[in-house]
Chain A
Amino acid sequence: MTSNTDDGEISYREAMREALREALASDDRVFVMGEDVADYGGTYAVTRSLHSEFGRERVRNTPLSESGFVGAGIGAALGGMLPIVEIMTVNFSLLALDQIVNTAATFRHMSGGQLSVPIVIRLATGAGRQLAAQHSHSLEGWYAHVPGLKVVAPATVADARWMLSAALADPDPVLLFEHTGLYATKGETGSGPVSLEGAAVRRPGADVTMIASAGMVPKALDAADQLELAGIDAEVIDLRSLRPLDRPTLAESVGRTHRAVVIDEGWRSVGYSAEVAASINEDCFYTLDAPVGRVATVEVPIPYPKHLEEAAIPQVADIVAATSAIVKGVAVDA
């Protein structure tokens, strides 16, 4: 059940569950499928109790067969259903990479536009829970490389509540990334529907544009609060969609602030932050007052010990340091 608190705030997890409940209740073509989504309630408890409401046919446990059940989801989408497939973590999705990249992303094209694959794949992503190097990576940037896919990452409770229905309404495969560090965050659900695409300015500012997604958004907002105390007025943009990337919103912002820092939980080299930085360079080069900065994960598989994990992934202090260095014109190696 949704536990609306008196102040109207619910958790990101509850918002996702409410979105799933609404989808299941409003369209017979929708079903949820994944490992332990029924009795267990999902690894991150997102689907808890939905099977008692909608039955085990529509909230369907699968064997540990990522390629099999993602492929089955794609097939069901071809057969007229609107499947929502949960993959426990993005790391495990690599077992289904063939289905996502070779099939879901290609069928519209290979069939000359006759077919579409309206599947939604939900994946947990991100580090911060001491789950080490096979449960903590942020690989959404890999998927954002692939034409034919849409890649979104709700960072707020409102987007967690409303992005799913937009993803289901989209005729193409949508990968919806849920950062595990966000599940317990609380916020207002706002009102839908929302657009699947388009970045959102989460905090207006004049001196520098901080660009983040998923679990990096709250960190960027915290960093902006600290920077404000130091007299720096930072704008924070939540990308929301990694593919397509909302370049106009970035260009408009950076055109005003003349400085940009990209914050990404993926690794730095050949990472998504490089794509964002390159786009800004292409769109805003002559208005930039400083090189585009990047704060990204250190080039190491995510380690288990808390202090090393924290050191590997971007922290508020790293974002503050990199951003103030850019604003002050000081070189920094973030």
Chain B
Amino acid sequence: MIDERVRPLADMIRIRVFEERCAELYGQSKIRGFLHLYIGEEAVAAGIIPQLDADDAILATYREHGHALLRGVQAGRIMAEMYGKAAGCSGGRGGSMHLFDAATRFYGGNAIVGGHLPLATGLALADKLSGRRGRVTACFFGEGAVAEGEFHEAMNLAALWELPVLFCCENNTYAMGTSLATSESQTDLALKASSYQMPAWAIDAMDVEATQRGAAKALATIRGGGGPVFLELRTYRFRAHSMFDPELYRGKDEVEEWKSRDPIEAYGRRLIAEGVITNDGIDELWQAAGDEVDEAVDYAESAAFEPVETLTRHVTGDVTDEVGGNGAVPSSGAVR
């Protein structure tokens, strides 16, 4: 059993190592399409997702590999999805931007900015209407989504109907290359959110423990029937927006300054200083994460592509399918 204080470090390292490998595999053309890396932002997922219960729901963006990994989707199934293999967590149909896992109530992998916020309110509405008290729907989105109408519609509905939604705004400063300052008249996002009459505050999300504390408080409020909460998680993306981004919009100095606050290094130093872990202990975490990714890559490499003959599957279902059974109760984990 991993130490409770070490776990966030291990989680962040798992994401970092997984994604560093993804970047390499992209260079080798093993992974194609868009690939959006979370490197630098790991403390957000590590500070929040492990605090969610098995029957809570999660929705994320196209920068969601880390969220899926920490939710418990097997690294091999995530990697196979990025390879486009049938053994992927979305059967290969989604790719990097569309990771799904019904068994862990992981509803994507959504690549229309802001589009999944109304879904989060709906999942929470289903819980409310069904009397499933205590459940939370956690919705991760970037600060770019705040400019979308769907953000405002979803915030209003969630607050109006007092729905159990945790809105996690991952403010990494840039929507692709557009900074918050050049795109919003009001850059204080918590202030903006609080206009919907929901508790909202900002968190230094380069600090995984600060993120944990904020999330714990928010989740307690929501589970206690207090309606939705908005968290602005101040973070930074160390890598380019996607693999196609030449990063013309920001200076190297700015990136270096944020990298000096690397959430993994900062938390590792803290744990060593407090005697919770040793340097060797941290090395072991990196080694274990590397082993996990090696296995994931082997799994993806050896998995098969779906035959072209089944191209038109998964467009519509059979009317004999059970209707409305999605994730209402987490299933055994088998992918149907």
Residues of A within 8 A of B (CB): 29, 31, 57-58, 62-63, 65, 67-83, 98-99, 102-103, 107-116, 118, 147-148, 150, 168-172, 196
Contacts and interface: CB of A to CB of B under 8 A. Distances in A.
Nearest to B151: A68
B319 A75 contact: no
Nearest to B110: A103
B292 interface: no
B323 A118 contact: yes
A81 B109 CA distance: 22
B333 to A, nearest CB: 11
B127 A68 contact: no
20 contacts: A62-B157, A63-B160, A67-B118, A68-B121, A68-B157, A79-B126, A80-B324, A98-B115, A108-B314, A110-B98, A111-B91, A111-B94, A111-B100, A111-B102, A112-B314, A113-B91, A148-B315, A150-B316, A168-B323, A171-B323
Interface in B81-105: 88-94, 98, 100-102
Contacts of B315: 108-109, 147-148
A98 B112 contact: yes
A78 B100 contact: no
A71 B117 contact: yes
Contact of A80 (B112, B160, B317, B327): B327
A109 B126 contact: no
A67 B326 contact: no
B257 interface: no
Nearest to A172: B316
A83 B123 CA distance: 12
Contact of A69 (B110, B117, B157, B326): B157
A120 B319 CA distance: 14
B263 interface: no
Contacts of B57: 79
A71 B150 contact: yes
**5 smallest A-B Cβ distances: which pairs?**
A75-B122, A71-B118, A112-B91, A79-B126, A68-B153
B108 A82 contact: no
Contacts, number: 191
Given A75-B118, A114-B100, 16 more contacts: A58-B129, A63-B160, A68-B150, A68-B153, A72-B118, A73-B122, A75-B125, A78-B327, A103-B115, A109-B315, A110-B90, A111-B93, A113-B336, A116-B317, A147-B316, A171-B318
Q: How big is chain B's contact interface, by range? A: 35 or more
B149 interface: yes
Contacts of B90: 110-112, 114
A75 B120 contact: yes
B251 interface: no
B129 A57 contact: yes
A111 B154 CA distance: 23
B122 A72 contact: yes
B126 A171 contact: no
A147 B149 CA distance: 26
Contacts of B125: 72, 75-76, 79, 81
B328 A80 contact: yes
A169 B320 CA distance: 9
Nearest to B329: A80
Given A75-B126, A81-B126, A147-B315, A112 B117 contact: no
A80 B316 CA distance: 17
A60 B117 CA distance: 19
B142 to A, nearest CB: 17
Contacts of B154: 68, 71-72
Given A65-B156, A112-B94, A113-B313, A74 B118 contact: yes
A79 B153 CA distance: 19
B118 A82 contact: no
